[in-house]
């Protein structure tokens, strides 16, 4: 072994020893949490597309990824100006292990005329896709049909966003007024001249996503779920990771 090799080994030894000592005592965990929210607002009502998932976290110092979201539960909540709520549980399309996610980085929900669409931008493994809302789920459109529709409405260059959708007068009074992850970095938005705020409320073991109208004293719990933090063993973590990878392969494209 050369002098340089010996120096590298001795310099890394304390770090390796630290990982060896910490690893057996590290804990992995799972809990439910809001993973994404998008709001499509129209002349008379708002449609909240909400996604709740089990967030799995592993404490290994060199783990990648350190956390991921598993088992999504999705709902649409139709909210009127007075605060009345109508719920639409989102079904998983036939032949798929999960529905399309609502993550704001690659997903944009928008309207063309009377139809609601979800645009999923391309990634390393998938072509960009367009879905159409049908009763209780987003149905994937054939690739040639989705590309033709985007081109027809001049949305094919960079994909749809609110600027191009509104500029082309496609939405007829509808607009995507809010989209964020469950961290809610930007928690306020406006609709029909009113200011609203979203907030995560912790009540003992239950967690709620709450909507507040700031110019009037009313609030509404949009969705409530069990937020208990549970510790996982290494074998349980490995099982969940295998399930996550299977779900990823269940993506339609």
Q: pLDDT 10s per residue in the chain (253 long)?
A: 555 544 443 454 444 444 333 444 457 888 888 989 999 999 999 999 999 988 887 777 666 677 767 777 899 999 998 888 999 999 987 766 667 889 888 899 999 989 999 998 877 667 888 999 999 999 999 999 999 998 888 886 666 766 666 666 677 889 999 999 888 877 999 999 999 999 999 877 788 999 999 988 788 999 998 888 888 888 888 887 787 777 666 554 4
217, two tokens: 């004293």
How confident is the model at residue 15, as a pLDDT? 43
b (16+ CB within 10 A) / e for 87-97: ebebeebeeee
Half-sphere exposure of 167 (CA within 13 A, CB side): 8
**Scanning the structure block, which residue is given the tokens 């009345």?**
84
Q: How far apart are CA 252 and CA 97, in angstroms?
A: 9
The shares of helix, strand and coil residues in the chain, as percent rounded to the nearest 5, are 20, 45, 35
Query: Could you tell me if 75 and 90 are in contact, meaning their C-beta atoms sit under 8 angstroms apart?
Result: yes
Query: Could you tell me if 161 and 167 are in contact, meaning their C-beta atoms sit under 8 angstroms apart?
Result: no
How confident is the model at residue 217, as a pLDDT? 77
Q: Tell me the residue length of the chain.
A: 253
Q: How far apart are CA 69 and CA 176, in angstroms?
A: 24
Least Cα distance to 114 among 138, 132, 98, 95 occurs for 132
Provide the H-helix boundaries in 80-212: 143-152, 162-167
């Amino acid at each position: 072994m050369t002098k340089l090799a010996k120096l590298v080994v001795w310099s890394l030894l304390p770090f390796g020893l630290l990982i060896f000592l910490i690893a057996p005592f590290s804990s992995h965990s799972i809990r439910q949490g809001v993973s994404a929210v998008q709001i499509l607002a129209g002349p008379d009502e708002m449609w909240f597309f909400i996604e709740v998932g089990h967030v799995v976290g592993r404490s290994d110092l060199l783990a990648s990824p350190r956390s991921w979201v598993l088992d999504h539960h999705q709902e649409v909540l139709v909210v009127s100006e007075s605060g009345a709520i109508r719920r639409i549980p989102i079904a998983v399309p036939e032949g798929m292990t999960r529905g399309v996610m609502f993550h704001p980085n690659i997903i944009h929900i928008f309207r063309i005329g009377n139809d609601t669409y979800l645009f999923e931008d391309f990634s390393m493994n998938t072509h960009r896709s367009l879905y159409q809302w049908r009763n209780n789920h987003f149905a994937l459109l054939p690739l040639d049909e989705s590309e033709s529709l985007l081109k027809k409405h001049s949305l094919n260059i960079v994909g749809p966003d609110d600027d191009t959708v509104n500029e082309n007068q496609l939405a007829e009074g509808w607009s995507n007024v809010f989209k964020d992850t469950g961290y809610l970095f930007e928690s306020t938005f406006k609709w029909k001249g009113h200011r609203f705020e979203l907030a995560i409320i912790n009540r003992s073991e239950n967690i709620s996503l709450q909507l507040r109208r700031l110019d009037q004293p009313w609030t509404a719990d949009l969705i409530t779920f069990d937020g208990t933090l549970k510790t996982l063993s290494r074998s349980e973590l490995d099982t969940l990771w295998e399930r996550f990878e299977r779900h990823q392969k269940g993506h339609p494209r």
